[in-house]
Amino acid sequence: MVTQRGRARGQCCESSDLPLATLPSLFNPHERPKLVAPPRLVQSTDLVLERSMMFTLKVRSHQREELVEFTEQVAEKLKESGAQDGIVVLYVQHTTAGLTINENADPDVPRDMLHALRTLIPQHGMGFRHGEENSDAHIKASLTGPSVTVPFADGKLLLGRWQGIFLCEFDGGRERRVIMMIR
Ligand code: ZN
């Protein structure tokens, strides 16, 4: 193991104490081992943190149970940020709403998802104790989960052709807050 001491000052990946890995060549078994720098992310953790950006998106639902697509809102905010490559983390700050990524082409898909959840977990008749009478919404929110992560490149979300980002409303209609972190 050797270190990067000795590299010229001012190089982008300069560091006084990060080790360089010594790897054998994959192409020529007789070639001497080459020095390979560790991945830049390992060296540049502080820079990556500095580049993080955080926004709050507001997503409005109109029915008690509804899948509200807000892909465009996310894409626009990403464009505004000027970020080129990285990940977007979306996180909903509520206990009766979730987030998911699924088909946005046929509206019957979100309809059927809600239908299945409603059939599995009806609002009444299961002996729930919670006084707000929205235990079904709490359970559905935990099933869908509070966050999704989407990679992006060249400033564009790397969603599949039929994928959209949805707020899963289970106790609407109302305005929901979604934290959007870009890094
Ligand atoms: Zn409740």
CATH code for the domain in which residue 158 is found: 2.60.120.460
Residues 13 and 76 in one domain: no
pLDDT the model gives residue 64: 98
Ligand 1 centroid from CA 107, angstroms: 28
Q: Please count the structural domains in the chain.
A: 2
Q: Where are the beta strands (DSSP E) in 28-154?
A: 34-36, 53-60, 66-69, 86-92, 97-103, 147-153
Ligand 1 centroid from CA 137, angstroms: 8
Residues 75 and 29 in one domain: no
Question: The pTM is what?
Answer: 0.73
pLDDT the model gives residue 34: 54
Ligand 1 centroid from CA 127, angstroms: 15
Residues 6 and 60 in one domain: no
Contact 70, 179 (CB under 8 A): no
| 183 residues of the chain, pLDDT tens digit each | 333 443 334 333 333 344 444 444 444 555 555 555 555 554 444 444 567 999 999 999 999 999 999 999 999 999 999 999 999 999 999 999 999 999 999 999 999 999 999 999 999 999 999 999 999 999 999 999 999 999 999 999 999 999 999 999 999 999 999 999 999
Ligand 1 centroid from CA 134, angstroms: 5
Q: To which residue do tokens 């980002």 refer?
A: 165
CA distances from 156 to 3, 32, 148 (A): 37, 41, 16
Q: Which helix (H) or strand (E) holds 140?
A: helix 135-144
Ligand 1 centroid from CA 96, angstroms: 7
Residues 86 and 127 in one domain: yes
Core vs surface per residue 65-102: b (16+ CB within 10 A) or e: bbbbbbbebbbebbeebebeebebbbebebebbbbbbb
Residues 37 and 59 in one domain: no
pLDDT the model gives residue 33: 54
Q: Which helix (H) or strand (E) holds 120?
A: helix 108-120
Q: 37: domain range?
A: 2-47
pLDDT the model gives residue 144: 98
Contact 165, 90 (CB under 8 A): yes
Residues 30 and 74 in one domain: no
Going by the DSSP 8-state scheme, the letter that residue 133 receives in this structure is S
Contact 140, 52 (CB under 8 A): no
Ligand 1 centroid from CA 106, angstroms: 31
Contact 34, 25 (CB under 8 A): yes
Residues 102 and 150 in one domain: yes
pLDDT the model gives residue 12: 38
Ligand 1 centroid from CA 16, angstroms: 54
